C-alpha cells in the first residue's frame, strides 16, 4: 500500500471505468481504480442504458452524440462489446410543450445529431403500437437505441487493465487525506492510506459521502427510480420497435428480452442517503405503470409485469452533469449529478476527464461549463423540460 499513484479513481461503474481507460489510452501510468464492491455492482448495473441525443443544450447534445458513436463502434474503439442495439429513438410531445420540443429538435440538428421532426402518422409508421392521439409532433433518431450496461462497463475495465490500470475490488474508501488544508493527496482505505497526485471521485450517489471527509459537498439530490418489465402475448422485438420517450406521460420504454422495459422519466422519489433504495412495487405502483402503458400503446395484448427493480439517480439542479473540482481543494475532481443519463454520456465524459488531466483542459468538449460552481455563479444549463421529468 506504500506505492504512490498518479491517479486514484473511486468508483467502478461505467463512468469510473471509462475514465480509467481513457487515461491509460493517453499514456497515464500508475492509475488505480478502487471499488468497494465489484465492478458494475452499483447503479450502473440498474441502468436501462438508453442511448439518445435529445437534450436542450448543444454541449450535452454533442456529449451524447459522442457517446452514441463510441457505443455503436465499441469493439473497434475500445474492445469487448457494448451490446448496442440500433433500433432508433422516438420521442413525442403533446401540444403543451410543443414550442420547446420543436426548438430542441432544431438545436439537435444544429449540434450535428441525426434527428428528424415528424408528424403523428409518421410516428405510428415507425412504431405501429403507439397511441397517435397523444402525439402532437415527434422526433426520431434513427442512429440511437440502447446498449448493455454490464457489457460496456466490463469492456472499459478490461481494456483499461490491458493498458496497465490497476483495479482493486472490495476496498472501501473511508476518507480522503490532505497534506494541507487546500490539497487532497490520497485516500484512506480499509487496508491503509494510499498516496496520489489526483483523486477522481466517480462514485455516483456516494460522491458526497467521500468528498465530505474534506469538507466538500457537490450540489445534487439522491432519488429512487423504479423500472418494470412487461411481457405480452406476442413478442415485442427490438428489430421492429424503437426506444420511446413519452413526454406527456413522463415515461420511457425500450425492448428487452422479447418484452418491454417501462420506467418513469420523472426525477424519482428523494431518499435520505446513498444506502437507501426502495425496490418494492405495491399494488398502486404497479397500477401506475400499467396506466402509463395503456395510455401510450395499443394492440399489445396480455400485458403483465414480470419483474421490477430500482436504482438511484444523483440529480443536479439543472439535470446536467457536474464535472470538476472546487476552489481550495487542489488534487480533487469529481463527476456526479448525472441525473439518470450517465450511461450514454460516459464515453465522452471519460475522454473529457482524461484530457483535462493530461492536457490541462478537455479538447473534445469544453470542460468549464460543467463546473460545480456554475449554480452559485448563475450559469446553469438551460433545461426546457424542468419540472416535467429527468430530461435535461
Same domain, 262 and 345: no
Residue 284 domain flag: yes
What pLDDT, on the 0 to 100 scale, is given for residue 247?
A: 94
Same domain, 123 and 235: yes
pTM of the predicted model as reported, rounded to 2 decimal places: 0.97
Same domain, 212 and 164: yes
Q: What is the pLDDT of residues 112-150, one digit of tens each?
A: 999 999 999 999 999 999 999 999 999 999 999 999 999
d(CA 165, CA 23): 9
Give the pLDDT mean for 149-168: 98
Same domain, 234 and 136: yes
Looking at 289, 315, 341, the residue that finishes a domain is: 315
Looking at 265, 297, 315, the residue that finishes a domain is: 315
Residue 267 domain flag: yes
* Cell reading at 212: 465530505
What pLDDT, on the 0 to 100 scale, is given for residue 392?
A: 80
Of 11, 35, 3, 33, residue with least CA distance to 20? 33
Of 18, 13, 12, 11, residue with least CA distance to 346? 18
Count Cβ atoms below 10 Å from residue 185 Cβ, excluding itself: 19
389/141: higher pLDDT: 141
Residue 226 domain flag: yes
Of 196, 184, 94, residue with least CA distance to 137? 94
Domain that holds residue 249: 88-143+222-315
d(CA 330, CA 216): 12
Give the pLDDT mean for 222-248: 96
Same domain, 128 and 212: no
Same domain, 297 and 233: yes
Residue 125 domain flag: yes
Same domain, 310 and 249: yes
Q: What is the CATH number of the domain that holds 345?
A: 3.50.50.60
Residue 157 domain flag: yes
Residue 383 domain flag: no
* Cell reading at 299: 394492440
Compute, in degrees rounded to 10, the torsion defined by CA atoms 47, 52, 57, 60.
60
The answer to whether residue 218 scores a pLDDT higher than 60 is yes
What pLDDT, on the 0 to 100 scale, is given for residue 389?
A: 59
Of 218, 169, 181, residue with least CA distance to 335? 218
Same domain, 133 and 243: yes
CB 217 within 8 A of CB 329: no
Please give the mean pLDDT across all residues of the chain: 95
The answer to whether residue 390 scores a pLDDT higher than 80 is no
Same domain, 241 and 308: yes
Q: What is the pLDDT of residues 369-385, one digit of tens each?
A: 999 999 999 999 988 88
Q: What is the CATH number of the domain that holds 298?
A: 3.30.9.10
Chain-centroid distance of CA 135 in Å reads 27
Same domain, 212 and 325: yes
In which band, very low, low, confident or very high, does the pLDDT at 267 lie, cut at 50, 70 and 90?
confident
In which band, very low, low, confident or very high, does the pLDDT at 388 lie, cut at 50, 70 and 90?
low
Looking at 288, 315, 342, the residue that finishes a domain is: 315
Count Cβ atoms below 10 Å from residue 380 Cβ, excluding itself: 18
Same domain, 336 and 352: yes
Residue 11 domain flag: yes
d(CA 57, CA 304): 37
- What's the domain count of the chain? 2
What pLDDT, on the 0 to 100 scale, is given for residue 2?
A: 62
What pLDDT, on the 0 to 100 scale, is given for residue 387?
A: 61
391/7: higher pLDDT: 7
Chain-centroid distance of CA 379 in Å reads 22
Q: What is the pLDDT of residues 278-336, one digit of tens each?
A: 999 999 999 999 999 999 999 999 999 999 999 999 999 999 999 999 999 999 999 99
What HEC string does 103-132 produce?
HHHHHHHHCCCCCEEECHHHHHHHCCCECH
d(CA 342, CA 83): 17
CB 356 within 8 A of CB 68: no
Q: What is the pLDDT of residues 190-209, one digit of tens each?
A: 989 999 999 999 999 999 99
Same domain, 234 and 215: no
Residue 133 domain flag: yes
Give the pLDDT mean for 98-107: 93
Give CA separation, 331 vs 198, 215, 274, 325, 335, in Å.
4, 14, 24, 8, 14
The answer to whether residue 69 scores a pLDDT higher than 90 is yes
Q: What is the pLDDT of residues 13-35, one digit of tens each?
A: 999 999 999 999 999 999 999 99
The answer to whether residue 1 scores a pLDDT higher than 60 is no
Amino acid at each position: 500500500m506504500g506505492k504512490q499513484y498518479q491517479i486514484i479513481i473511486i468508483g467502478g461503474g461505467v463512468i469510473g471505468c471509462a475514465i480509467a481507460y481513457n487515461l491509460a489510452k493517453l499514456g497515464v501510468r500508475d492509475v488505480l481504480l478502487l471499488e468497494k464492491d465489484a465492478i458494475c455492482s452499483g447503479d450502473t448495473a440498474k441502468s436501462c442504458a438508453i442511448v439518445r441525443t435529445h437534450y436542450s443544450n448543444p454541449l450535452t447534445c454533442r456529449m451524447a452524440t459522442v457517446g452514441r458513436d463510441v457505443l455503436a463502434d465499441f469493439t473497434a474503439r475500445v474492445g469487448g462489446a457494448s451490446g448496442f442495439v440500433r433500433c432508433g429513438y422516438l420521442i413525442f410531445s403533446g401540444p403543451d410543450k410543443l414550442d420547446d420540443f420543436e426548438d430542441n429538435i432544431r438545436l439537435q440538428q444544429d449540434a450535428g445529431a441525426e434527428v428528424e421532426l415528424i408528424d403523428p402518422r409518421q410516428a405510428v409508421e415507425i412504431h405501429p403500437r403507439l397511441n397517435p392521439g397523444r402525439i402532437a409532433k415527434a422526433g426520431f433518431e434513427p442512429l440511437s437505441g440502447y446498449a448493455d450496461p454490464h457489457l460496456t462497463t466490463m469492456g472499459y475495465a478490461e481494456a483499461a487493465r490491458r493498458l496497465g490500470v490497476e483495479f482493486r475490488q472490495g476496498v472501501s474508501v473511508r476518507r480522503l487525506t490532505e497534506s494541507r488544508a487546500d490539497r487532497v493527496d490520497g485516500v484512506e482505505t480499509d487496508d491503509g492510506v494510499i498516496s496520489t497526485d489526483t483523486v477522481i471521485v466517480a462514485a455516483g450517489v456516494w460522491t458526497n459521502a467521500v468528498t465530505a471527509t474534506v469538507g466538500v459537498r457537490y450540489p445534487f439530490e439522491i432519488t429512487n427510480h423504479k423500472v418494470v418489465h412487461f411481457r405480452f402475448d406476442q413478442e415485442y422485438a427490438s428489430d421492429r420497435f424503437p426506444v420511446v420517450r413519452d413526454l406527456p406521460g413522463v415515461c420511457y420504454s425500450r425492448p428487452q428480452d422479447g418484452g418491454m422495459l417501462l420506467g418513469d422519466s420523472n426525477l424519482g422519489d428523494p431518499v435520505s442517503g446513498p444506502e437507501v433504495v426502495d425496490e418494492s412495487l405495491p399494488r398502486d405502483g404497479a397500477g401506475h405503470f400499467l396506466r402509463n402503458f395503456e395510455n401510450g400503446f395499443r394492440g399489445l395484448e396480455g400485458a403483465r409485469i414480470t419483474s421490477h427493480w430500482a436504482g438511484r439517480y444523483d440529480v443536479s439542479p439543472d439535470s446536467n452533469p457536474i464535472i470538476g473540482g472546487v476552489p481550495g481543494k487542489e488534487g480533487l475532481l469529481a463527476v456526479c449529478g448525472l441525473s439518470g443519463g450517465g450511461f450514454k454520456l460516459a464515453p465522452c465524459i471519460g475522454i473529457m476527464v482524461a484530457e483535462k488531466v493530461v492536457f490541462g483542459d478537455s479538447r473534445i468538449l469544453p470542460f468549464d461549463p460543467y463546473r460545480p460552481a456554475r449554480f452559485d455563479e448563475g450559469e446553469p444549463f438551460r433545461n426546457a423540460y424542468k419540472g416535467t421529468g429527468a430530461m435535461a
